[in-house]
Amino acid sequence: MFAYVEPAKGRTDMPSPLPARTVATPALSRRALLRGAAAAGTAGLLTACAGRSDAVFDSEAVPWKRYAGTTLNFISENTAPTAAIAADVKPFTELTGIRVNIVTLELSALAQKVALDFASGNGEYDVVYADPYLVLAPYAPAFADLRQFQEDSELPDLSGGFGDFIPAQLDAAGRFQDSGKVLALPYDCPTMVWQYRADLFAKYRERMADDLGFDPMPSDDSTWEQYYGIARWFNENTDDVRYGTGHQAKQHDSLMCDFSNLLWSFGGDYFADGMRVGRLGAIDPGKCLLRAEEAVAGAEFYDRLLRVADPGSLTWDWDGLGAAFRAGRIAMCPNWHEYAASNEAALPGKVGYARLPKGPARSAAMYGGTGIAVSNVVPARRQQAAWLFLNWATAPKAQLSNLASKVGGGTPTRTSVYEVPRVVAAEHRPSQMPNMLSARAVREAWQDKNIGLRPKIPMWGECDTAIYTQVSRMLAGDASPAAAMKAAASRIDQITARGWVG
């Protein structure tokens, strides 16, 4: 009755839990893995399910206890909710009699291991952290439709049903192409918000307003042009911080995330019907739209913004940016909302959170959430036992416990948890659940008009690399914004034209 947590490669200790996000490293070649699945449904992918024995089963036991004696394997990225569950999985074992081994890896390594497991048919992992872009979209046939378990009267009901999950998250993290099937339950939900030194904004508010001609305090009316002006003002008028803004602009997936906020806010997108491609996904998304004038305008502004940002931005991913902000080096930044807990530990009472500014088209905030899924490669009873874990791990009670965890804890993906009185109270200081200090900002960001969803396509890992490679060239001065967008679009068109099998 234990949880084994395998550290990320190269580490002898378990890394600090952080919000889940995509690392754009292509997984195992899909040519060999999915040729059969593409031709004949799941037949070529789900071989014999012969790698592991089926779950222990007692038909006379109560539903939660019928699989007592079974051991499940859960593979996850090192995320906040997984850290919390790993530290306190005992209640699940006491409830079910099921042991859970938890393996945590860096995301690209996780995608490789899951792909190999599916290709071999061994079914080593019963529960999978199904990143929508590197795992769910490429290998959708290998995941069970969770509706079968929810509709089975012999299995415990999912508290609140699928309808209790935030709708955009259920689509983005839980579905692929088919709006009916549910392949994963929303498990974490990191979303980018405007994080700022509220103490410094209060200190200089009147001076900034006089100099800039607008109220600098972040609000739903704030624009990216105003954000740029505020950044320059801090650069030129105070020594409280070294720079007004910082960004996660390393040549890395983080750069794609940071840039995408501006792309969408200027009316650009990666493909036509971007909201559908982001929410439900597509195998053939069509031609890339980065050549469009809206996309170029977004790139031009991003290039201009980074020229007044902390130069360290070009070396930072989300972790580096978060550390710089907590160290007092910058006055504000766009970053994942789940850094609120570490911000509060380093700068207690000094940080504020708001929805990202508006561009000419809208405000757009990158959503980086992921679901957990049941492998279709494992035997039937083992799938049912895995469903019990999904049911328990995403239940309101577990999400409430995770939110208050001292070792990790994520932000809830269920509407009902946000209505719990002590959760509502935690949105204000003093807060025992510091991630809730960013709750108002992320609720705004999750609205359909504001949410930013990267394309959920099987070949996204390669497209992601094309984007951050060309945007990095632009920031280095090696390509104009228009040239960078054209080059990225051309490469993406090559990738998508090849198709998802390869």
DSSP string for residues in 1-37: ----EEPPTT-SSPPPPB---------S-HHHHHHHH
pLDDT: which is higher, 123 or 29: 123
> Which residue from 365, 138, 123 is spatially nearest to 262, judged by alpha carbons?
365
Contact 174, 182 (CB under 8 A): yes
Q: Residue 50 pLDDT more than 70?
A: no
Contact 57, 67 (CB under 8 A): yes
What integer is the mean pLDDT of 151-175? 96
Q: Residue 13 pLDDT more than 50?
A: no
> Which residue from 370, 437, 435 is spatially nearest to 406, judged by alpha carbons?
435
> Which residue from 101, 122, 102 is spatially nearest to 48, judged by alpha carbons?
122
Q: Tell the residue number behind the tokens 């998802």, with chain if given.
A: 500
Kindly compute the dihedral angle of the four CA atoms of residues 118, 123, 127, 130, in this order, to the nearest 10 degrees: 0
Domains in the chain: boundaries: 5-190+368-412, 192-366+452-498
Mean pLDDT computed over every residue of the chain: 90
Domains 5-190+368-412 and 192-366+452-498 share a fold: yes
Estimate to the nearest angstrom the gap between the alpha carbon of 496 and the chain centroid.
23
pLDDT: which is higher, 12 or 286: 286
Which pLDDT score is estimated for 501?
Answer: 59
Q: Residue 6 pLDDT more than 80?
A: no
Q: Residue 49 pLDDT more than 90?
A: no
Beta-sheet strands, E only, within 80-151: 99-105, 127-130
Q: Residue 454 pLDDT more than 70?
A: yes
Which pLDDT score is estimated for 98?
Answer: 98
Give the separation between CA 41 and CA 369, rounded to whole angstroms.
Answer: 27
pLDDT-above-70 percentage for the chain: 89
What integer is the mean pLDDT of 97-118? 96
Confidence of residue 408 (pLDDT cuts 50, 70, 90): low
Confidence of residue 406 (pLDDT cuts 50, 70, 90): confident
Which pLDDT score is estimated for 80?
Answer: 86
What CATH number has the domain spanning 5-190+368-412? 3.40.190.10
Counted residue by residue, the chain has a size of 502
Q: Which CATH class is domain 192-366+452-498?
A: alpha beta
pLDDT digits (tens, 9 = 90+) for 485-496: 999 999 999 999
Residues 6 or more apart whose CB falls under 8 angstroms from that of 42 comprise: 141, 142, 376
Confidence of residue 51 (pLDDT cuts 50, 70, 90): low
Give the separation between CA 248 and CA 254, rounded to whole angstroms.
Answer: 6
